[in-house]
Amino acid sequence: MYILAIESSCDDTSAAVLRDGILLSNVTASQAVHEAYGGVVPELASRAHQQNIVPVVDQALKRAGIERTDINAVAFTRGPGLMGSLLVGVSFAKGLARSLSVPMIDVNHLQGHVLAHFIKESEDDNDQPEFPFICLLVSGGNSQIIKVNSYKDMEIIGQTIDDAAGEAIDKCSKVMGLGYPGGPIIDKLARVGNPDAYQFAKPSIAGYDYSFSGLKTSFLYNLRDWMKDDPDFIEHHKEDLAASLEKTIVDILMNKLRKAVKDTGITQVAVAGGVSANNGLRNAFRDHAKRYGWKIFIPKFSYTTDNAAMIGITGYFKYLDNDFAAIDLPAYARMEK
Ligand code: KG4
């Protein structure tokens, strides 16, 4: 049974093919057009998806070694995301499923990120979390602590009340005049900087919720002060700034996660989403595994940022449940569940 999966929620056009839940191909076209603007421009993203979607799907089918007519179901990201971007993938999926007379499966993008931990590249790929587990989902648009009870049952027990972790990193990187997206640039600079060089504001809010807007403001105001004395302060200290910023964000993320693990008593802990590519965060997970006996799950780099493989595996579980989408199903920019 072959599933073709499509992801187009933001600025990556991705297609994947799975055979009986095993990943055969995963092809992603990123959009460099946004770099010049320091952030994703929705209109340009939709246009780039229009250009990329057919070649990306063709390439995914080719790498999987199948024909279009072999496809048994089409899975696609229904939301959340940028509406114009989603519409390209949703409309393409509808057209293709209709023309092939096969069912469609709608997938929640965030659920996809969490279930990326179940992507299997081969039959004997069995290092997967058991239910229930705790998942820290950190991306450009979300920062959540999720109690994952089953493939379908996910409880958000904590989330950001303002900016997401990735958004904070990207904005601080922009303030420093570095490129977009800031995450990978900050990560690289941080590897050679001193994480204890500077202190930035950390939030003190109750429960498992996060906040990153105070940190962002504190980063900006501190930089402004330091630059009064040395206009080239950023250039002179960018490695230390990046390392200190990364440490602050990782500390904020891990503090609440530790609390959630302690309170729930669930010690299987996964990380997902674009920011899970961050080396500082990955190291903090490894450190917690050693120190607190957590069994940790860290995704392969290719499954951290947006990809269709995670949409495919989520679609596969829904397919097994006969959970299909109606042809008139709309895309959703925001989704509660
Ligand atoms: O999950 P994702 O690809 O897109 C969504 O938000 O849905 O996440 C993108 C975010 C961006 O904010 C990007 O800067 C961040 O993930 N990111 C990183 C790294 N790679 C990507 N943040 C920190 N370190 C990285 N290595």
Per residue of the chain (337 residues), give pLDDT as tens. Answer: 999 999 999 999 999 999 999 999 999 998 888 888 878 889 999 999 999 999 999 999 999 999 999 999 999 999 999 999 999 999 999 999 999 999 999 999 999 999 999 999 999 998 999 999 999 999 988 999 999 999 999 999 999 999 999 999 999 999 999 988 899 999 999 999 999 999 999 999 999 999 999 999 999 999 999 999 999 999 999 999 999 999 999 999 999 999 999 999 999 999 999 999 999 999 999 999 999 999 999 999 999 999 999 999 999 999 999 999 999 999 999 876 5
| Of the candidates 159, 195, 183, the residue with the CA atom closest to the CA atom of residue 336 | 159
Ligand 1 centroid to Cα of residue 118, in Å, is: 20
- 275 Cβ inside 6 Å of ligand 1: yes
| Residue 205 tokens, joined | 């809010």
Using CA atoms, how far residue 255 sits from 172, 190, 285, 333, in Å, is 21, 20, 12, 30
Ligand 1 centroid to Cα of residue 305, in Å, is: 6
Cα–Cα distance, 306 to 84 (Å, whole number): 16
Residue 184, Cβ neighbours under 10 Å: how many? 17
Residue 31: the pLDDT is: 86
- Which residue's entry shows tokens 């729930």? 264
CB-count exposure of residue 150 (10 Å: 0-12, 13-18, 19+): exposed
Using CA atoms, how far residue 323 sits from 23, 103, 141, 320, in Å, is 20, 10, 27, 8
- 140 Cβ inside 6 Å of ligand 1: yes
Query: Which residues on neighbouring strands pair with residue 79, listed in sequence order?
Result: 108
Query: Which residues on neighbouring strands pair with residue 295, listed in sequence order?
Result: 268
Q: To test the ligand 1 pocket, which listed residue (304, 305, 307, 311) has its Cβ within 8 A of the most ligand atoms?
A: 305
Query: Which residues on neighbouring strands pair with residue 158, listed in sequence order?
Result: 145
Cα–Cα distance, 50 to 43 (Å, whole number): 11
Helix (H) or strand (E) holding 138: strand 133-138
Ligand 1 centroid to Cα of residue 295, in Å, is: 24
Cα–Cα distance, 115 to 309 (Å, whole number): 10
Residue 336: the pLDDT is: 61
Cα–Cα distance, 131 to 133 (Å, whole number): 5
Ligand 1 centroid to Cα of residue 183, in Å, is: 6
Q: What angle do CA 160, 8, 16 make, to 5 degrees?
A: 115
Ligand 1 centroid to Cα of residue 166, in Å, is: 5
The sheet with strand 12-19 has its strands ordered as: 22-30, 12-19, 2-7, 73-79, 104-108
Q: To test the ligand 1 pocket, which listed residue (9, 30, 169, 303) has its Cβ within 8 A of the most ligand atoms?
A: 169
- 134 Cβ inside 6 Å of ligand 1: no
Residue 141: the pLDDT is: 87
Ligand 1 centroid to Cα of residue 165, in Å, is: 9
- 184 Cβ inside 6 Å of ligand 1: yes
- 163 Cβ inside 6 Å of ligand 1: no
- 277 Cβ inside 6 Å of ligand 1: yes
Q: Whose Cα sits closest to atom 3 in ligand 1?
A: 305
Cis peptide upstream of residue 181 (ω within 30 degrees of 0): yes
- 141 Cβ inside 6 Å of ligand 1: yes
Residue 45: the pLDDT is: 93
| Predicted TM-score of the model (pTM) | 0.94
Q: How far apart are the first and last CA of the chain?
A: 27
Cβ atoms of 180 and 39 within 8 Å: the answer is yes
